[in-house]
A and B are shown apart, each in its own frame.
Chain A
Amino acid sequence: MSDTLIEVRGLEVAFPLREKKLFGARTRLLRAVDGVTFDIRRGETLGLVGESGSGKTTVGRAILRAIDPTGGEVIFHTRGGDIDLAHADEHQLQKLRSRLGMVFPGRSATGSVGLHSLSGEALRLFRPRMSLVFQDPYSSLNPRMTVRDIIAEPLVAAGLMRDREQIDARVREIAARCKLNLEHLRRFPHAFSGGQRQRICIARALVAKPDFVVCDESVSALDVSIQAEIVNLLKDLQEELGVAFLFIAHDLSVVAQISHRVAVMYVGAFMEYAPVRKLFFTPRHPYTHALLSAVPVVDPDADYRPIRLPGEIPNPLALPSGCRFHTRCPFAKERCRAEVPAWREIAPEHYVACHFAEDFDFARPAPAPG
């Protein structure tokens, strides 16, 4: 497990909803994330797909503690190493602050930190180690700040660097890596196109050298050509910096392109989770199969027959009994209505939540690697 960066165990996020009733009020719990378990390795991209409302975004936010989990654990494995605090100079201390913040609650013997239990100051110091790239590059950049100040903000907010020249140097380095024109750093974001804004967002997310970045629908709003550029850029940056990504998207072909492993989510729970080729070419869950079949194919001669899922996505306040997918599953049987399927490893690294996963052959012709 040496290369595991983040371990997520039974993560739950529930929002209390107050309902006014004839007599008083009652509070019901909306289980946006209902116990998911997975891990993210150093330098890998985990793709997270699912329909709107499936809880993808909530998983990402909960890991970053932008939303507080209501259950489960999120363990962040830091590179241990001995650090002599007594002899570290001010500069080193400054850099260590973000790591020191994590020494507080939840620290385990292996130098890991339980993110779910961090609070307040500790969390703020810890944040620069992780970061977030949003979907909309227009609303996520402050129009009154220059590009340089936007990119530098995580360094300044966490107090990682105080020296202006040092900050400038770091900003210029990451901006260059993100293929931004350095002469544009003094400009304001309104002067940039969607693709360039997304580069600015990525530079900002990476400036503090985080180990982990959540990309939430980061390329969904972009044109196909710019999308291709950003995907290539993220892959290059990952190779150069060794950063891990949680790549949340509803476009399956983009996810396939960028991810090492992929998880499929449905109304708050994982249905399937496997290395990218296994998931796309030998899916085991009927939901994964249906999602894949619905991706429009550019070849007009291709056999495009999307599987119709009857009905609507269930209301998370009134989840179906048994398997939460049974109300729409073309293969649902009696057992699916009665019994919640176990989350099990059906093949090495291939996890699925379906009673009958072994019975399905959804395999599609896979192209030869390379």
Chain B
Amino acid sequence: MDPILQVADLSISFRTEEGLITPIQGVGFEVGRGRTLGLVGESGSGKSVTTKALMRLLPGNARIDPASRIRYRAKSGEWIEVHTLRDGARALRRLRGGEIGMIFQEPMASFSPVYTVGNQMVESIRLHTPLNRREARALAIEMLVKVGLSNPGQRIDQYAHELSGGMRQRAMIALALAAGPALLIADEPTTALDVTIQAQVLDLMRDLQRDLGMSMIFITHDLGVIAQIAQDVAVMYLGTIVERGPVREVLKSPQHPYTRGLLRAIPSLDRLDKRLSPVPGDIPSPSERPAGCPFHTRCAEAIAGVCDRIPPAETVLGPDRSARCHLLAQPGRATA
């Protein structure tokens, strides 16, 4: 894999009223150039916090552990050590938008209600490119065409609230792509959409990625979406990546009990008469992270005295494929 982003030993702590909590512990993954990494996990698993850290967008009470490393390969080819950048550094401003773009579940969060779609796109383009206003506007219209908005010459002068849900989502993607980022972080971009619109947006993102040679991190809790858009997947549980690898392998032969549990919980048309099988129990709060393996409190296969004590190390299962589970370190018990 030719990586554009490398994250290793990422830990993030927050000062809260209940004291210091560390919701992200030892996260490591890579994003390959031109590939899409799907980041899956339940609410509270730390998906969004992790990706915010990549752009250094964490709130003031957050602290990235000094041992963490976030390396991003800029369009110029040089590696940027994101974790070492000072807040407010020029390189950080270039990184946000120009190198790494971001889109969210709620498009209205990306658009200001008092500026037109075009104003905001032109502003972003001019911040990150040497283009003048007229050229920037032409590029913005071109982006709106690319995302499949009908009537782009007219839409560009509209406000986000004047667009329908699907169009707004497209406009937000155009806004994020306007400055030509090499990596796009998409945080649940299709979760609030109807299936028909979701299929269109997924299609669009796949095409754009191919045409622009862009890399993507796609955050979702929907493994069906992951299967359709990502090449690689990382499964997060309580601030730790418990399993990662190529999508096909992870979905076809999951090695971590949590991944298996998630897959079993999905309703399927092939099992209409069977009861659904939820993963038992609730995800613990980040301030009550269990000792040992974070998943042991809900794991039917947990080994007493081991899983509740020792955090499992990463077991390498193949090229770019690994999982953190004690069962894997004990041959013969892993296929349960």
Binding site for B on A (CB under 8 A): 51-52, 193-196, 223-229, 231-232, 235, 250-254, 256-257, 276-277, 280-281, 290-291, 294-302, 304, 306, 308-309, 312-313, 367, 369-370
How far does the Cβ of B207 sit from chain A's closest Cβ, in whole Å?
13
How far does the Cβ of A77 sit from chain B's closest Cβ, in whole Å?
28
Task: Determine if B228 and A296 form an interchain contact, defined as CB atoms under 8 angstroms apart.
Answer: yes
In the complex, which of the residues A250, A290, A300 contacts B251, with contact meaning CB atoms closer than 8 Å?
A300
Task: Determine if B272 and A256 form an interchain contact, defined as CB atoms under 8 angstroms apart.
Answer: yes
Task: Determine if A298 and B224 form an interchain contact, defined as CB atoms under 8 angstroms apart.
Answer: yes
Task: Determine if A256 and B222 form an interchain contact, defined as CB atoms under 8 angstroms apart.
Answer: no
**In chain B, residues 181-207, which have Cβ atoms closer than 8 Å to a Cβ of chain A?**
194-200, 202-203
Task: Determine if B278 and A225 form an interchain contact, defined as CB atoms under 8 angstroms apart.
Answer: yes
Task: Determine if A228 and B277 form an interchain contact, defined as CB atoms under 8 angstroms apart.
Answer: yes
Task: Determine if B42 and A223 form an interchain contact, defined as CB atoms under 8 angstroms apart.
Answer: yes
In the complex, which of the residues B43, B165, B227, B271 contacts A300, with contact meaning CB atoms closer than 8 Å?
B227
Task: Determine if A298 and B43 form an interchain contact, defined as CB atoms under 8 angstroms apart.
Answer: no
Closest residue of chain A to B221 (Cβ to Cβ) is A223
How far does the Cβ of A80 sit from chain B's closest Cβ, in whole Å?
34
In the complex, which of the residues A51, A223, A276 contacts B196, with contact meaning CB atoms closer than 8 Å?
A51
Q: In the complex, what residues of B have CB within 8 A of residue A370's CB?
A: 273
Task: Determine if A277 and B272 form an interchain contact, defined as CB atoms under 8 angstroms apart.
Answer: yes
Task: Determine if A224 and B265 form an interchain contact, defined as CB atoms under 8 angstroms apart.
Answer: yes
Closest residue of chain B to A295 (Cβ to Cβ) is B195
Q: In the complex, what residues of A have CB within 8 A of residue B275's CB?
A: 232, 235
Task: Determine if A226 and B165 form an interchain contact, defined as CB atoms under 8 angstroms apart.
Answer: no
Binding site for A on B (CB under 8 A): 42-43, 164-167, 194-200, 202-203, 221-225, 227-228, 247-248, 251-252, 261-263, 265-273, 275-279, 282-283
Task: Determine if B267 and A257 form an interchain contact, defined as CB atoms under 8 angstroms apart.
Answer: yes
A312 to B271, CA, bound (A): 33
Interface centre among A196, A224, A252, A280 (most CB of B within 10 A): A224
Given A193-B282, A225-B262, A231-B276, A250-B194 contact (CB < 8 Å):
yes
Q: In the complex, what residues of A have CB within 8 A of residue B199's CB?
A: 294, 296, 306, 308
How far does the Cβ of A109 sit from chain B's closest Cβ, in whole Å?
39
Given A223-B221, A296-B227, A228-B265 contact (CB < 8 Å):
yes
How far does the Cβ of B51 sit from chain A's closest Cβ, in whole Å?
18
Given A231-B276, A295-B224, A253-B194 contact (CB < 8 Å):
no
Task: Determine if A228 and B227 form an interchain contact, defined as CB atoms under 8 angstroms apart.
Answer: no
A306 to B283, CA, bound (A): 34
A97 to B203, CA, bound (A): 56
A255 to B277, CA, bound (A): 16
A194 to B273, CA, bound (A): 26
How far does the Cβ of A341 sit from chain B's closest Cβ, in whole Å?
21
| Sample of 9 A–B contacts (CB below 8 Å) | A51-B196, A225-B262, A290-B196, A291-B195, A294-B196, A296-B199, A298-B251, A306-B203, A370-B273
Task: Determine if B278 and A228 form an interchain contact, defined as CB atoms under 8 angstroms apart.
Answer: yes
Task: Determine if A294 and B198 form an interchain contact, defined as CB atoms under 8 angstroms apart.
Answer: yes
A254 to B224, CA, bound (A): 13
Q: In the complex, what residues of B have CB within 8 A of residue A291's CB?
A: 195-196
Q: In the complex, what residues of A have CB within 8 A of residue B271's CB?
A: 367
A195 to B194, CA, bound (A): 23
A280 to B164, CA, bound (A): 29
How far does the Cβ of A26 sit from chain B's closest Cβ, in whole Å?
22
Task: Determine if B276 and A297 form an interchain contact, defined as CB atoms under 8 angstroms apart.
Answer: no
Task: Determine if B194 and A256 form an interchain contact, defined as CB atoms under 8 angstroms apart.
Answer: no
A291 to B261, CA, bound (A): 27
A312 to B166, CA, bound (A): 9
In the complex, which of the residues B165, B196, B262 contacts A309, with contact meaning CB atoms closer than 8 Å?
B196
Q: In the complex, what residues of A have CB within 8 A of residue B200's CB?
A: 308
A226 to B282, CA, bound (A): 8
Q: In the complex, what residues of A have CB within 8 A of residue B221's CB?
A: 223-224
Q: In the complex, what residues of B have CB within 8 A of residue A296's CB?
A: 195, 198-199, 202, 222, 224-225, 227-228
Task: Determine if B251 and A299 form an interchain contact, defined as CB atoms under 8 angstroms apart.
Answer: yes
Closest residue of chain A to B274 (Cβ to Cβ) is A370
